[in-house]
Amino acid sequence: MSRRRFHPRWFRRRTPIFWWLEKGVYVHFIVRELTSLAVAYAAALLVVQVAVLGAGAEAHARFAALLASPWAVGWHALVLVGLLYHTLTWLHLAPKALVVKLGGHRVPDAAILAGHYLGWLAATALVALVLVRS
């Protein structure tokens, strides 16, 4: 009788590198995580724009011309898709984390989601208003 027979030898499966392709839910999750790069990029771009604005009108005009080039427009259209995907998925996850109680009753998830959309709309309208008036 071999010694191995009585030796506990557990089988450990290695997680494959493409584990996230096994299920649609995992793909959705990875895309959501990757699109956070679009959010980081958009934030960095805003900081750069502010810095360029501080450097004077001429520098800003050069930077604006750079952003108006076809490749930059195409790239930023892709970034916008990533931003929208991240924003929408983030908003839809928010009710999971937020438990709001009013008058002893829990506010329904749909109401919390609606509140987030309203906040997003209000912020967008405010920015649009500032841009139109300037």
Partner 1 sequence: MADATVTLEVQRYRPEREDEPVWERFEVPARREWMVLDALNHVKDRLDGSLTFRWSCRMGVCGSCGMTVDGEPKLTCATPLAARGDGRPVRVEPLRGFPVIRDLVVEIRSFLGKLKRTRPWLIRDDDVPLAAGEHLQTPAELADYKQYSMCINCLLCYSACPIHHLEPDFAGPAALALAQRYNLDSRDRGAAERMEELSRHSGIWGCTFVGECSEVCPKGVDPAGAIQRYKLAAAADWFQSILLPWSGQARAKRREVAR
For 38, counting Cβ atoms within 10 Å of its Cβ (0-12 exposed, 13-18 middle, 19+ buried), the class is buried
Beta bridge partners of 105: 102
CB of 25 to partner 1, least distance (A): 5
> Near partner 1 by CB under 8 A, which window of 56-64, 71-79, 98-106, 126-134?
98-106
* Residue 18 touching partner 1 (CB under 8 A): no
- The site string for partner 1 over 32-61 (x = CB under 8 A, - otherwise) reads -x----------------------------
Angle at which helices 57-67 and 70-97 cross, to 10°: 90
- Asked whether 21 and 27 are in contact (CB, 8 A), the reply is yes
Q: Which of residues 65-84 bind partner 1 (CB under 8 A)?
A: none
Q: Which of 65, 66, 80, 98 binds partner 1 (CB under 8 A)?
A: 98
